[in-house]
Homo-oligomer: A and B are copies of this chain.
Amino acid sequence: MQFNITKDFLEEICTLIESDNSVQLEHILEELHFADVAEIIDELNLEQAVYIVKLLDSEKTSEALMELDEDQRDRVLNALSPKEIADELEEMDTDDAADILNELPDNIAQEVISELIDEQHAEDIVDLLRYEENSAGGLMAKELVKVNENWTVTGCVSEMRAQAENVTRVHSIYVVDNNDKLKGRLSLKDLLTSPANTPIKDVCKPKVDYVTVKTSGEEVSRIMRKYDLEAIPVVDELDRLVGRVTIDDIVDFITEEAEKDYQLASGISQDVEANDSIWDLTKARLPWLVLGLVGGIGAAAIMGGFEHLIKEYAVLFLFTPLIAAMAGNVGVQSSAIIVQGIANDDLKGSIGNRLLKEILLAMLNGVILAILLFAYTFFAEREFLTSLAISTSLFAVIIVAGLVGTFVPLALHKRGIDPALATGPFITTSNDIFGILIYFLIAKAIIGI
């Protein structure tokens, strides 16, 4: 039942656009889900894409616009007039409309807002614009179904029907008092099974999970996951019900956050995709590579300080990439575990205990790896002292790398900085430098040079 774009189908669409056969096009596309229409628009060139958006009903294109690849959406919006964008926004949920406005240049956004006809809708959208993107306020939509606690069951059923028209999925009916303060919630079932003249106050469930407009997106997602919620109401500073966050937005949020963390850990600093331009990809990748370059130059400078040893102890220099690589690997492992622990909110105990545990862990790994390395180097070089120096240094480097990997994300988190920043190239680079310095210092001490 799912739709897959075939090459033939896409060619058919293109031919119909070329020949301006709008009747046939409408006929084909109105059968499709908006997500499929979006998939088609993503494959078209700008001119064709705009043709389709202008051809189809805003009811369909407004939803399709939200599903487009961000770059393609930017281009399409750029080709539409403020009035045309406003027409699309009229059909959108308030949260989607606010997201679109946030993507537009300020002056265009202003023009679009002034073209909106439905005043309540416009007011709701503008209201959403003032919240931070990564907060419950920025994630919520204004669309919800609410009833007054002082109404009776009958009184509110008709009112509720009218409200539900604008709401795609009802999930819960929220109960408020005369000041719009959130008092509880109702299920449709409760409403339908209660006598007609019961006051809402008596049927509503007073216990309701909620978040405030300022609650962070991570916290909203944690709460919704923990309690398996499909929607959560959002209140303002005065406990007034102002919106709700639905699970589909949280699914998108979780996916985006996971991608961002994964990219940060891989040394990619902006949200890019494989299909982005070489220029965009370079902007996201080059800064981390430059950091790596600086780190490598630092390592070379440190090694340069020990260059007088190179003739007699050449073998020490052969193992520097190994030391750097192991320091990097251990650091990345340690930081990844801490970053995930922070994200899942399941780190227990103090930083001190955390570091102690990491030391024990690094000692266990370090001993095993050092023995393996000693066995190899002694077998290959037959020099006891050099082999001992190299493997002992590895042991020390692993412990320090583990500590740095554990400490840095914890420290960043304490200061309110995203700990994921500390993973990947940052840890690898700093551990490379630390590692090589420690390596030479210990080797020098053991060999006695």
Contact = CB atoms under 8 A, between A and B. Distances in A.
Contacts of A293: 322, 326, 369, 372-373
B266 A423 contact: yes
19 contacts: A1-B207, A35-B227, A254-B258, A266-B335, A272-B337, A273-B346, A274-B341, A274-B347, A281-B337, A282-B364, A282-B365, A288-B329, A289-B326, A297-B373, A297-B376, A304-B318, A307-B314, A320-B321, A321-B321
- Copy tally for this chain in the complex stands at 2
A288 B344 CA distance: 24
A329 B425 CA distance: 7
A261 B335 CA distance: 15
B328 A273 contact: no
Nearest to A323: B296
A306 to B, nearest CB: 9
B254 A251 contact: yes
A80 interface: no
A436 B322 CA distance: 11
Interface in A299-326: 299-300, 303-304, 307, 310-311, 314-315, 317-326
A332 interface: yes
Interface stretch (A51-59, A98-106, A353-361): A353-361
Interface in A414-449: 423-425, 428-429, 432, 436
Interface residues of A, number: 103
A63 B326 CA distance: 43
Contacts of A368: 286
A265 B262 contact: yes
A325 B323 CA distance: 11
Highest count of chain B CB atoms <10 Å: which of A227, A258, A300: A300
Contacts of A169: 230
A274 B314 CA distance: 40
B278 A357 contact: yes
A11 interface: no
Contacts of A314: 307, 310
A208 B286 CA distance: 46
A330 interface: yes
A190 to B, nearest CB: 14
A82 interface: no
A267 interface: yes
Highest count of chain B CB atoms <10 Å: which of A318, A326, A357: A318
A110 interface: no
A83 interface: no
Given A254-B258, A329-B289, A361 B278 contact: yes
Given A230-B169, A299-B321, A278 B336 contact: no
Highest count of chain B CB atoms <10 Å: which of A33, A266, A311, A330: A266
A364 B278 contact: yes
Contacts of A286: 365, 368-369
A75 interface: no
A228 B254 contact: no
> Which 10 interchain pairs have the tightest Cβ spacing?
A296-B322, A266-B336, A258-B258, A274-B341, A321-B324, A300-B318, A299-B321, A303-B318, A292-B329, A228-B248
